[in-house]
Structure 1
Amino acid sequence: MAARTRITALAAAVALTAVTGCGAADMTKQASPYAAAQGARTVTLSVQSWVGAQANVAVAKYLLEHELGYRVDTVQVDEVPAWDALSQGRVDAIMEDWGHPEQEERYVDDKKTITSGGELGVTGHIGWFVPKYFADAHPDVTDWKNLDKYADRLRTAESGGKGQLLDGSPSYVTNDKALVKNLDLDYQVVFAGSEAAQITQIRQFAKEKKPFLTYWYKPQWLFEKVPMTEVRLPEYEEGCDADPEKVACAYPHTPLRKFLNTGFSEKGGEAAAFLKNFRWTTEDQNEVALMIADQKLSPEAAAEKWVSSNESTWRKWLPAA
């Protein structure tokens, strides 16, 4: 699958130690005491605010500490500031990036302060979804051309007389307002505020068997609890989302990637080698995310449980002795 030229960021979050939304912290003024610590067996990992990213970091942290003897700090950073923090050595690695071509050009290609850490093994996709029970009853709703037919049924108190398209946090980059405008749809984008708030709203709709239309993404554990069907938007073609104001196409499918501070990549020893080797499946990530978000395990407990059952997977990530 072609790399995306301009990908939207994911919606918001189940918390790191408690539930938080995207944008809860910003590294522009912060630095971890472990970051760029010369000669020390320490690592600082950036944690994006959605639970899939948290799952990556939880497992990486657990193995770095328990198998390789590192001290690991984690810092929640918004997506774009995370690139600045990584370039400056405030953090050592981003475990899941959904595509930021401007930052990649600036820091990887031009400044060379950031180095690709390879693919995570998970393919991400953002789209519009309706609950399966509604799609089963009204199959034509899965084509965007028919959405206006159902706008009245998808209206809420927050959508101003139009159908509601539920998004996560307004701090995220999405194409949805442009899509609604450019596809001339009778809908209003309504922001829940965070991934956690969006999940709460979706689950409430599902409990009451109400119809809803939401921005959502894969991989995500919620599909196991609330089955949803994607609405077909105009087909994605390379470059169709290059101009944020003119977007009128679907979101692409994107292999998610890791990025490391270049100094850390070159001198980070076993930790850097391990993070480059870290590669798992959508099913692996969802298993850990489900434990954190739905079963309410702590990230460390979820990681420990996954690690205990998947040695054949993670053993390959460890650097050769």
Structure 2
Amino acid sequence: MILKSGGIAAAIAVAFLSAGSLPVLAQEADAAQCGTDRTIDIAEMTWPSAAALAHIHATILSEGYGCDVAIVAGDTVPTASSMLNRGTPAVAPELWTSTIEDAWAKGIEDGTVVQLSDAITDGTVEGWFIPEYTQAEHPDLTTAEAVIARPDLFPDPEDSNKGRLYSCPPGWACELSTTALFDAYDMDETWNIFSPGSGGALDASIARAFTREEPILFYYWGPTAILGKYPAVQLDLGETKPEVYACNTDPDCTEAAGVTAYPSSPAVVGAASWIQDEAPVVAEYFSKVGLTNAEISELLVYGDENQADAAATAENFLRTKQDVWSGWVPAEVADKVMAALG
């Protein structure tokens, strides 16, 4: 190499930059790309879909945008309370706001929190389900009333003279709502309601029926691995009546149970407002990350079938569903994430 005037000094300077300063400059570039040097703490909620989403977003923000990211334990009420009062965690990637409706609405009005997008774009699901193959054999079974009229198709293994409705484990809110509907439909003369001892027992009952291709009537919710794995059909329960549903889920309500469909609870990407102010690139990212109920249920199937934790489930999604998540980010960010995954 021919050095021009001052070339030796320039070469030394280049060597110095290469050896020491470039990592610093790279870190500064990453911070600028992320938009903040503050740690972005993401709440990992206690249910599988929200836990997996926390790890998906943490990987993309860390590897793709160079953000300083931390995953912290969370749950709906404590996470929302901390976000509203202390601005941390920065993001809750699947926050069900129905149980914190008033406080959350006030936080948005006061400017302490923001909703960046719908985490589940078509809303959460609750209701009564039957297998798709059962409905294919009996096309008229589209409503709760039609199924209730055919207890003979869903016999109770312990009392074949009646049908069986699989409810929720004792103590769960859905046990109250399902029992209330059972009463409102006057099902007790021709049906039994069965409450399994645990969520795992309910899942096992559903899995056994589908594996054997047997009819089953059951309560369930989504997004979940069960609805992702087994082709179930949700029954029409009519219109949603919020006041009736509130009474059906309140053990102290003295009014007679009524018929109502389950409301679809909003599940949003909630964030402390400083994210919008200090890291608009991150806020823009989270404005695009919504998934459908079916997409989330599908990603959970991997975790269920492989007994994988949230981190492994997230990694599988990033590896196998690049066509989905790459639409959330610029191409160069997607390339960085894929490179980090090897």
8 Å contact 1:126–1:218 — kept in the other structure? yes
Aligned residues: 278
Q: Deviations over 1:84-126 (max 9, x none)?
A: 34324453322224441x6222233267343222212532221
Structure 2: how far apart are the matches of 1:233 and 1:163? 18
Query: How is 1:41-80 mapped onto 2 (pairs within 5 angstroms)?
Result: 41-49=39-47, 51-69=48-66, 70-77=68-75, 79-80=76-77
8 Å contact 1:108–1:115 — kept in the other structure? no
Greater share of helix: 2
- SS of the residue 1:94 aligns to: strand
Q: For residue 276 of structure 1, what is the aligned residue in structure 2? A: 287
Q: Deviations over 1:242-278 (max 9, x none)?
A: 5445541112446632212334554456544433332
Structure 2: how far apart are the matches of 1:237 and 1:220? 25
**Normalized against structure 2, the TM-score is what?**
0.66
Q: Which has the larger radius of gyration?
A: 2
8 Å contact 2:43–2:89 — kept in the other structure? yes
Q: For residue 114 of structure 2, what is the aligned residue in structure 1? A: 115
Structure 2: how far apart are the matches of 1:198 and 1:265? 42
Code of the aligned partner of 2:72: T
Structure 2: how far apart are the matches of 1:169 and 1:291? 28
Identity %: 17
Structure 1: how far apart are the matches of 2:265 and 2:286? 20
Structure 2: how far apart are the matches of 1:304 and 1:287? 14
- Alignment of 1:155 onto 2:191: no
Q: Deviations over 1:153-198 (max 9, x none)?
A: 443569xx8733322573445632222222222242514523x443
**Normalized against structure 1, the TM-score is what?**
0.69
- SS of the residue 1:43 aligns to: strand
Deviation at 1:63, TM superposition (A): 0.9
Which of the numbers 236, 240, 244 marks the counterpart of 2:240?
A: 236
- SS of the residue 1:122 aligns to: coil
Which segments of 5 or more consecutive residues in structure 2 lack a partner in the other structure?
A: 1-35, 334-342
Q: What's the Cα RMSD here? A: 3.7
- Alignment of 1:87 onto 2:89: no
Q: Deviations over 1:275-317 (max 9, x none)?
A: 3332234454234222222233443333334324554643453
Which segments of 5 or more consecutive residues in structure 1 lack a partner in the other structure?
A: 1-37
Structure 2: how far apart are the matches of 1:249 and 1:309? 39
Which of the numbers 174, 177, 180 marks the counterpart of 2:179?
A: 177
Code of the aligned partner of 1:175: S
8 Å contact 2:167–2:219 — kept in the other structure? yes
Structure 2: how far apart are the matches of 1:313 and 1:41? 26
Which of the numbers 288, 294, 315 marks the counterpart of 1:304?
A: 315
